[in-house]
Amino acid sequence: KAGVTQTPRYLIKTRGQQVTLSCSPISGHRSVSWYQQTPGQGLQFLFEYFSETQRNKGNFPGRFSGRQFSNSRSEMNVSTLELGDSALYLCASSESGVASSPTGELFFGEGSRLTVL
Amino acid sequence: AQKVTQAQTEISVVEKEDVTLDCVYETRDTTYYLFWYKQPPSGELVFLIRRNSFDEQNEISGRYSWNFQKSTSSFNFTITASQVVDSAVYFCALSEAFLSGYNKLIFGAGTRLAVHP
């Protein structure tokens, strides 16, 4: 069974640009979550999608947005990039969420490392 | 507000030593889950365990064991007879049923464990 795939793995952007990151969940998984990981703030929840609907959202500005497609693939977009957006962006999938699955396991991808210059 | 504290930033041990990683959490929710994840250098988070707030039984899985105590709001993780392959960053996380939603994981800052031969 293929794992969670995130693309691109590495990217460099300049301030003011926008970026789109992609996440392909494990086949059959309908819940996709996004997390930002930085040395200063640690791991922070961005949003979670289930069956194309956003179920939960973290405390990030409106420049951070996401969506989920009918095949459960998800994208997140960051507009007007700032230096502080440099981070590892992690995507995680599960069948239907941490509460409803037997083990509660979230399957994480290896992340997209964004550098903003 | 909800919070997870991992007071130990870094721990260094010699192989075969036992090591305990501490986790203290804060929540006003009555129903919640606690998790431990491991992050190896490759970046993806690897699920170790989920425990719900109604189950205070300790759990053992091979060399790993977890001690959940609601009275002290702690969920500590012990590795017995540590091995070099255990070297990683370990994260404790909390998700709340009602106040912030099950599928939003709140992570601690992580503890970097280095096991030396």
B2-19 confidence digits (pLDDT tens)? 799 999 999 999 999 999
pLDDT for position B109: 97
Query: Quick one: pLDDT at residue A2?
Result: 78
Residues of chain A neighbouring B43 (CB-CB closer than 8 A): 88, 90, 110-111, 113
Q: Across residues A72-76, what is the average pLDDT?
A: 98
Any CB–CB contact under 8 A between B103 and chain A?
A: yes
By Cβ distance, the residue of B97, B100, B103 closest to A33 is B103
- Nearest by CB to residue B47, choosing from A44, A106, A109, is A106
Q: What was the pLDDT predicted at A104?
A: 85
Residues of A in contact with B103 (CB under 8 A): 31, 33, 48, 50, 55-56, 97-99
- Give the residue from chain A lying closest to B33, CA to CA: A99
Tally A–B CB contacts below 8 A: 74
Q: Measure CB to CB from residue A111 to each of B44, B46, B105 and give the nearest one.
A: B44
Confidence label for B101 from pLDDT (cuts 50, 70 and 90): confident
Band the pLDDT of A1: cuts 50, 70, 90: low
What proportion of chain A, given as a percentage, has pLDDT over 70?
99
pLDDT in tens, B48-91: 999 999 988 889 999 999 999 999 999 999 999 999 999 999 99
Give the number of residues written for chain B. 117
